[in-house]
Amino acid sequence: MDTNNVIRLPEIMRITGMSKPTIYLWMSQNKFPQSIKIGARSVAWVEKEVFSWIQERINARDAQVNGGAK
């Protein structure tokens, strides 16, 4: 079964190494997955969207490295 687990900001900061201001800045620039509202004053991110974003960064790095080796 495909689930949509959500993760909170401290975990986002831990797994990305980014600060809270950077996360919110990149979200405003559509460079990072958008959060979802999970309560009146709570937000979280869909885990698979964040890990897909990380994988895209890895793929871009690898393409640049491999493209530069030609």
Confidence at residue 68, expressed as pLDDT on a 0 to 100 scale: 62
In order, the DSSP letters of 13-66 are HHHH---HHHHHHHHHTTSSPPPEEEETTEEEEEHHHHHHHHHHHHHHHHHHHH
11-62 per-position pLDDT tens digit: 999 999 999 999 999 999 999 999 999 999 999 999 999 999 999 999 999 9
Confidence at residue 65, expressed as pLDDT on a 0 to 100 scale: 84
The number of angstroms, rounded, from the C-alpha of 11 to the middle of its chain's C-alpha atoms is 11
Element (H, E) at 6: strand 6-7
Confidence (pTM): 0.85
